[in-house]
Structure 1
Amino acid sequence: MDSGAKARLIGALVLVLAALATTGLSVGWIWNKADAVTPVSLPSAGQAPIETISPSLKPSKTPEPEGKVIGTEMVAANTDTMPIMSAAWTNYYEQAGLVGSASIWFTVHKNYDGKKHDWGNVTVFGQLPADIPYTNTAAGLRAAASEAGARAIVDIYTKDAKVLPGTTHKTLSVGGHPGHEIVAQVAINQPGVKETSSTVMIAVIDRGNGTADVSVADIAGSTPAWKDVWRYKVSQIKINQ
C-alpha cells in the first residue's frame, strides 16, 4: 500500500473514531464501517504473495438421505413405502446399514438387565447401498441380499455374531418386481435375556431402474408370529418412480 493510501486510511479512521466517541457505538462497528468507507489498494506486481488464511468455518457435510415413519407406513428416502408391522411397533433409529431408511421397534423384554435396557424386534426399510454390487438377475438379487444381510447382522449385533446352520433362500415377486429373501438364525447369549436365538430376515426387491429396495427384520426367537407378519408387509411394498 502506498503512502498516500495510508494517509487516507488514517484520516478515515480518525473520522470514524470521532463519530463513535459521540454516539457510543461498539468496537465491532468500527471495522465494518472502516472497511466500507476506506479505499484499499490492490497489491502491485513484484510484491510477496499474500498469505492464505484458512477460513474458520468449513462447509458442512451434505446430510445423508433419511426415511420416515409416516402414519402406518415406513417411507424410504426414495418415496417407496412399506406398511409398519402393527400399531404396537414404534419409530426407531436406522440399524441395518441401509440407505435412506425408516425403522420401527417392538419391545419383547423390557428392562431385561435392570438398567433400563430393552430387548426387542426391529424392522428396517430402505434402499440397497450403492457400494453393494447389484444386477437385476436371480444371481444378482441373491448376492445383494447376502451382502445386505451380512452387513445388517454386523450392524444389529457385532462382527462376531454367530449364524446358526439352516439359512434359507427363496425368490420373491412384489408387485411384479423380482426379489430374493434370506432367513438366518443368529445365536443369542446376552446376560439377562431369555432368548437363545433371533431370526434375521432380508428381502431385496428390484425397483426396475438399476437399484433395489431392502427390508430387514430381526425377530426374537420367542415371537415367531412376527415372521409371517413381516413377509406379508414385504408383499405390500410399493415402488414409486
Structure 2
Amino acid sequence: MTVSPNWSGKIDAKDANGTPTGLKINAGDKITIIAGGWVYYGREIWAIAFPDARMKDGSKLAKDAVLKARFSTSGKNYDIGRGVYQWVAPESGELILYVHDSSHSDNNGAFEGEVYLTENKTVAVTKKAQWRGHVAATNANWTSTDITVAKGDKIILVASGEAQYDSRGRKFGPDGDSQHPSAQTPDSTFVYSGAIAGQLVIKVGEHLHAIGSGGDPWEVPEDGKIALIFNDTNVATEYANNTGGYDVNIVVLNG
C-alpha cells in the first residue's frame, strides 16, 4: 500500500496568515498531521522553536504548541505541535497551518508538514502504534519504544532537537554532523557505520537504518521491536561527554 500525503509543504514562520493546505475539511473528518523542523521566533540566536515549543538556552519554555491549525470559517486555533493522529476535525473549512507568535516580522525559517486524510482511499491506513519520546545523546544504550512491528509495516518518524559532542563542539540535528569525517568515510567504531556521527539510528529486530530527522514513510524490512540511538563510537565513555538529544514522534501504520 502506498502511503502518500494529501498535502505536504513548508509552513513559513514569517507568514502571520498561515499556510493554506487547499484541503476542504468537514467537521468530524479524521486528520493526521506530522511536522518537524526548527524556526527562529526572534532575531536572537537563542530564539529557536520546534513545532511543540519555544526554546531558550537549551530548555523548553512554557508548553505552548508553536505549530497550530485553524479553519478559514473561524478564528479559533488548535494545537498541532509535532503532530496529531486521526484528529477529529472540530469544524468545517479549509485547513490552515501556521506558526503561532505575537509578531511574525522578525521570524525566520519554516516547519515542514504532511497532512493525511483517512477519507482518501489511498491513505486509508490503520494506525498500529504511536510513540513519543526523547533520545539522549548521552545514552549509550538503545532507547526502546516497546513497539513490535511486522515486515511491511510503515513507520512515519519526525525527529527534532540539537546535540553536540561536548560544550565546545558543533551543534547539529538528527541528521548528524555533516562536517564530521564519518560523512566522507564510514567509521567502523560507531554503533552503525552506515550512519554519520550524531545521526539518529533506528533498529528493528537486527536491522539498522540511518533515519535522521525522518519525514518520509519507511517500510520495515523485518519483524522486531523498534529502538533508537544517537550514533557515536560504541563505548559508553564516548557518550558521557555529549550533550542534548532528539525529540521523536513515531506513528506505525499497518502494511
Query: Which range, TM-score by smaller chain?
Result: under 0.3
Q: State the TM-score, normalized to the length of structure 1.
A: 0.25
Q: Which has the larger radius of gyration?
A: 1
Q: State the TM-score, normalized to the length of structure 2.
A: 0.24
Larger relative strand fraction: 2
Larger relative helix fraction: 1
